A = this chain, B = another copy of it.
C-alpha cells in the first residue's frame, strides 16, 4: 500500500490505477522537481504553468489531488481552489498549497478555502511526497452508495434494506445509517463522538452512550453470536470498528 497506488477490481481482474496529480506551478525548476519525485512514487503528474486549463482538464480526467502554488500568473492558486470547491465533480478533491510565506499557511488552511494541507517553500522532496501520500490516505473515498455485500450480510442503501443470511431484517432509520456508515468505512476505528457527528441528524446534545445502544441493536441483527461479534467489534478505550470477517 505504501506506494500510493490504488487498485480496482473490474471485469474480474485487477487493474492498477495510477492516481493523477495536477500541479499548478509556474517555476519550471520547482515543477520539474515535483514531477520527478511524484512520478518516482508511481503517480501520474500533470503540470500546468498557469491556471488557465487545469479546471477544464480536471473535469474530464478527475485528478486524485491538486498541488497548487498560491501565486501563479493568471488565475492564482487561491482562485483555483475556490473554483474547485464549487465545481460539483471536483468539490471533494483534496488540495495542497505550496506557499512561500508561512503566514499564508494559516489562512490557506482556514475553513473558507478548504485546503487540506500546505507545504512551505523551500520544501524538501521528502516532505512533498510524505504530505501528498498522507493527504491521499486521509481522503480515501468512502465507497459510493451502492449495494454492499460483506460476509453474509447485504446492505442496500437505495432500498434501505438489510439482508442477513438471506433473510430480510427490518431496521430503523438510525440503525441503518449507522450500519451503512460502518460498512462504507470498513476497518477504521471510530469514536462515539465521531459517529455522533457524522451519522446522527440533529446532534443537539446526545450522550455518546447512545451509540452503545445502537451498536447492540445492530449486533443483534447481524451477528450470529452478538456476544462475540465478528463484524462490529468494540475497540476498548477508543470506539468501534466494523470489519469483514475472515
Task: List chain A positions with a Cβ less than 8 A from chain B.
Answer: 1-2, 29, 32-33, 36-37, 94, 104, 107-108, 111-112, 114-118, 120, 122-127, 130-131, 133-135, 137-139, 143-147, 149, 158-160, 172-174, 187-189, 235-238, 241
Taking the closest CB of chain B, its distance from the CB of A32, in whole angstroms, is: 7
- Is the Cβ of A111 less than 8 Å from the Cβ of B124? yes
- Is the Cβ of B112 less than 8 Å from the Cβ of A173? no
- Is the Cβ of A159 less than 8 Å from the Cβ of B130? no
Which of B112, B131, B145 sits near A33, CB closer than 8 Å? B112
- Is the Cβ of B29 less than 8 Å from the Cβ of A158? no
User: Which residues on B sit within 8 Å (CB–CB) of A114?
Assistant: 124-126
Q: Can you list 5 contacts pairing A with B, beta carbon distance less than 8 Å?
A: A32-B108, A33-B111, A37-B112, A134-B144, A134-B145
| A126-B96 Cα distance, complex, nearest whole Å | 13
Which of B137, B146, B173 sits near A147, CB closer than 8 Å? B137
Known: A133-B146, A144-B138, A149-B2. A159 touches B173 (CB 8 A): no
Taking the closest CB of chain B, its distance from the CB of A167, in whole angstroms, is: 13
- Is the Cβ of A124 less than 8 Å from the Cβ of B133? no
| A109-B212 Cα distance, complex, nearest whole Å | 39
Taking the closest CB of chain B, its distance from the CB of A11, in whole angstroms, is: 29
| A146-B94 Cα distance, complex, nearest whole Å | 16
- Is the Cβ of A124 less than 8 Å from the Cβ of B131? no
- Is the Cβ of A123 less than 8 Å from the Cβ of B146? no
Closest to A40 in B: B112
User: Which residues on B sit within 8 Å (CB–CB) of A94?
Assistant: 124
